[in-house]
Structure 1
Amino acid sequence: MSKQYKYTALLTIAGSDSCGGAGIQADLKTFSALGCYGTSAITAITVQNTLGVSGIHSIPAEIVKGQIKVVMDDIKPMAIKIGMVHSAELAVAIAAVLKEYPQIPVIFDPVMVSTSGHRLIEKDTIAALQKELFPKAKLITPNLSEAEILAAMKINNVADMKEAARRMITAGCNAVLVKGGHLQGPDLFDVYLDKNGFEKTFRSTAISTKNTHGTGCTLSSAIAAFVGLNNDIYVAIEKAKAYVHEAIVAGQDVKTGEGHGPLNHLFDPQKLFKHEME
């Protein structure tokens, strides 16, 4: 009998972006670029382009649950990325399915505010996310606007980022990566903190471009990919940040639409990794 192989499969649970730069589309591009097999469960359909979001249509909770379960039971992903969950009902529904698969690591990007500044989440959802989904996630990756909402404080510098991370850990998160891309300056800082008290600040060089649409989605899906490829969380973050940096550089001078253009996710695509089955 010939040998059988499997791919490193990943699942993204997120919203669809009609202009292709963020959400499900960015996640699947990222998974493919990093040599992984992507699957998806769509939580919402957004009406958006590079200029902003003009509408959101929610997918019924039972349909979202069904999408997740059929993938989990058949393809068995090695890691899960969660993006936009914009209602309390959806948060409860997703948590109900994921509790059946506690061994699979979850990277949760709590999408609340788009790159163009549009609020994407219903007001009554935040408490549901914190109660239902945050405890199930290996890592939460809020940007500054989202961290301000979750930590109930203003963030103006790295010290504030560290305090916000501490507040989120106290509220029940296992680990947090506060993304500082919106702070002004020549260098960018991301702050990691976990429930064991380990803290690390990641530093990178800012790139002069407005093509940053989907950066947060891309980073969290890249972290999920590297976790699925058996890297520990710190290495996964380092590799994901390097990938995002290079994807921004590769797309910084490309005009896609009139607003915030996307990254170049496929600047150096990897072949799908095949693992021999036991």
Structure 2
Amino acid sequence: MNAAANSAANPPVALTIAGSDSGGGAGIQADLKTFAALGVFGASAVTALTAQNTAAVRGVHPTPAPFVLAQVEAVLDDLPVAAVKTGMLATAEIVRTVAGLAAAGRLPRLVVDPVMVSSSGHRLLEPDAERRYVEELLPHAQVLTPNLREAEVLLGRRIGTLAEQRAAAADLAALGPATVVVKGGHSVSDTPGEAVDVLWHRGAARELRSRRVEGGNNHGSGCSFASAIAALLARGRPVEAAVTEAKAYIWTAIRGAAGWSLGAGHGPLDHFGWASGPAPG
């Protein structure tokens, strides 16, 4: 087989720069599962080790920023990375390091999931790291995917209605990202039983609606959504199509895991569609 044919047969490559979840449901683990489920080879740079499960985060051990850089450069120097997703960046130094790579044009099709607030509402980053997100990283993002709490931190204001969610998407786009998805879930839906995200793309807002899946197995859904967008971008999908297809993938993964009883808290997703067919034997 000649080199050109061999290259054409290779899977696309995506890189995740994020924290590790020892429980396997979120972070790097969710990202790599999502990449694999969508036919993309996944590489990773670990920004922090966490001791966590479905119920709680018990500890966080950040990676020194120079070693995060070393991991990313090792991947970029060897693999044809077609898209990059960032998750938990842990410290101001890591945010600055990743922003520097993005500013240098080394992080193609960058999807930024700004992991800044815990599910219980606690801020996960110091103010300097939050400022660096806004000033240094967001201007280089192709897609930004905050949830409502993260959008509130980035903008410094409350978001309580669908109109405010739409305004938030527009205002976040003004900070530099080419495309913004403000994930609202069911929190600000004007229709009971629906989950509504707002997509801002090419100067206009569009609502992405889906039926809400009952149950608490949604651990890692935000990580997986951003990773799905990155995977689809790596496969050559246009941005708007990548976002809508990623939302459909996550909805299916949440629905598939609705009957699972893994862990005492919010359980993981069915990334590989195990619920829809027989387990491999």
Under a length normalisation based on structure 2, what TM-score does the superposition of the two structures give?
Answer: 0.90
Residue aligning to 1:188? 195
Is 2:69 the partner of 1:65?
yes
1:259 to 253, 260, 265: 265
Question: Which residue of the other structure, out of 213, 217, 224, is the alignment partner of 2:230?
Answer: 224
Q: Is the 8 A contact 1:51 1:116 kept in 2?
A: no
Which secondary structure state, in structure 1, belongs to the residue aligned with residue 118 of structure 2? coil
Q: How many residues align?
A: 268
* Alignment RMSD (CA, Å): 1.7
Q: CA deviation at 1:127?
A: 0.7
Taking structure 1 as reference, are residues 257 and 71 closer, same or farther at Cα in structure 2, changes over 3 Å only?
Answer: same
Match of 1:179 among 180, 183, 186: 183
Measure, in 2, the Cα distance between the counterparts of 1:252 and 1:100. Answer: 42
Instruction: Report the CA distance between 1:115 and its aligned residue.
Output: 3.3
**Structure 2 Cα separation of the partners of residues 258 and 117 of structure 1:** 20
Is 1:90 paired with 2:97? no
Deviates more, 1:212-221 or 1:169-178: 169-178
* 2:278 corresponds to: none
* 1:155 has 2:159 as partner: yes
Identify if the C-alpha distance between structure 1 residues 132 and 234 changes in structure 2 by more than 3 Å, giving closer, same or farther: same
Q: Quote the Cα distance in structure 1 between the aligned partners of 2:134 and 2:220.
A: 23
Match of 1:41 among 22, 42, 45: 45
SS in 1 for 2:14: strand
- What does residue 199 of structure 1 align with? 205
Q: In structure 2, how many angstroms separate the alpha carbons of the residues matched to 1:209 and 1:254?
A: 10
CA distance in 2, matches of 1:96, 1:126: 16
Q: Which amino acid counterpart does residue 8 of structure 1 have in structure 2?
A: P
Which amino acid is the alignment partner of residue 217 of structure 1? Answer: C
In the alignment, which residue of structure 1 is the partner of 2:21?
17
Contact 2:216–2:266 (8 Å) recurs in 1: yes
Per-residue CA shift, 1:57-112, capped at 9, x if unaligned?
11000100011111112102110011011221111111222333357110000011
1:104 partnered with 2:108: yes
Structure 2 partner of 1:137:
141
What is the one-letter code of the residue matched to 1:225?
A
Name the amino acid aligned to 1:7. P
Is the CA contact (8 Å cut-off) linking 1:81 and 1:221 kept in structure 2? yes
Aligned residue for 2:10, secondary structure, equals strand
- Displaced runs of 4+ in structure 1, greater than 4 A? none
Q: Tell me, what secondary structure is at the counterpart of 2:108?
A: coil
Note the C-alpha offset of 1:116: 4.7
